Amino acid sequence: MILACDLVVQNGWRELRPADPRVIELSSLLQRMPLHPPAVRGLKFRNPNGVARKTVDLVTSHPGYDGKRTKGGKIDREVLHDFLTRPEEMQAVAREIRAGIEDGSFERLPETLDADSGDAVEASEGRLLARRYFARERNPRLREKKINAFVKQHGRVFCEVCGFDFEATYGTRGASYIECHHAVPLHMSGETTTRLRDLVLLCANCHRMIHRGSTWLTPAELLAIVRTE
């Protein structure tokens, strides 16, 4: 729905026809999504007709539309509302979802990435974004680069917020253990490249505290509330 609405926005809030190349492209993209495996869906699943019909629902749900409205669903209206109230963020979400389908990162991820982050990501776009977000944090190549750069500078790894050193506490079992946090939320960065300086090394506790609740903290905000006494 987010991708269909994004298309409608790009088309100046006008519906698109099934033969439109952008509709055909979106249809094939949606058919590649792992959320509904081919085995459990119908032959017409997300076909160009369905996608085009969705653009009609979205257009006629727009508050400024004065023609006859089609019977769109609750999700249509919610997504439409989100696009009207925070267009840039929603466009960034759409880009991330697209990128996630294209690079297969939704497929590689387990259903629940972080049991405790559920409350932080109630909205469906939030769940998809969070998947992309955590996938980025777990990108082994980026992790390795970040950790190598950090070790080069500090000689060892430790939490950048509280200073916790897993090896100092757990001995060899904790040696070189650290979690990698991406400090710029996807919809804020709005881009698919992650710079090393956007990554922060955190202990498991600090990392969990950053992602807890409906608003994720920045490392600096967490640092400000950590009680050191």
**Closest approach of Cβ 118 to Zn ion, in Å?**
15
Q: How many angstroms separate the CA atoms of 39 and 133, rounded?
A: 28
Cα distances (Å, whole numbers) of residue 36 to 26, 123, 155:
15, 19, 47
**Closest approach of Cβ 65 to Zn ion, in Å?**
41
CB of 9 or CB of 162, closer to Zn ion: 162
Helix (H) or strand (E) holding 38: none
Closest CA to 70 of 51, 48, 55, 85: 55
- Residue 32: phi and psi, rounded to 5, are -85, -10
DSSP string, 84-109: HHSHHHHHHHHHHHHHHHHTTHHHHS
DSSP structural state of residue 201: E
Q: Which of residues 136-175 bind Zn ion (CB under 5 A)?
A: 159, 161-162, 164
Q: How many angstroms separate the CA atoms of 97 and 6, rounded?
A: 11
Q: Which stretch binds Zn ion (CB under 5 A): 12-20, 31-39, 93-101, 180-188?
A: 180-188
Task: Determine if 181 is a binding residue for Zn ion (CB under 5 A).
Answer: yes
CB of 79 or CB of 203, closer to Zn ion: 203
CB of 132 or CB of 181, closer to Zn ion: 181
CB of 106 or CB of 164, closer to Zn ion: 164
Q: How many residues bind Zn ion (CB under 5 A)?
A: 7
Q: How many angstroms separate the CA atoms of 86 and 224, rounded?
A: 29
**Closest approach of Cβ 126 to Zn ion, in Å?**
15
**Closest approach of Cβ 208 to Zn ion, in Å?**
9
- Of 2, 130, 206, 222, the one binding Zn ion by CB under 5 A: 206
Task: Determine if 29 is a binding residue for Zn ion (CB under 5 A).
Answer: no
Footprint on this chain of Zn ion (rule: CB under 5 A): 159, 161-162, 164, 181, 203, 206
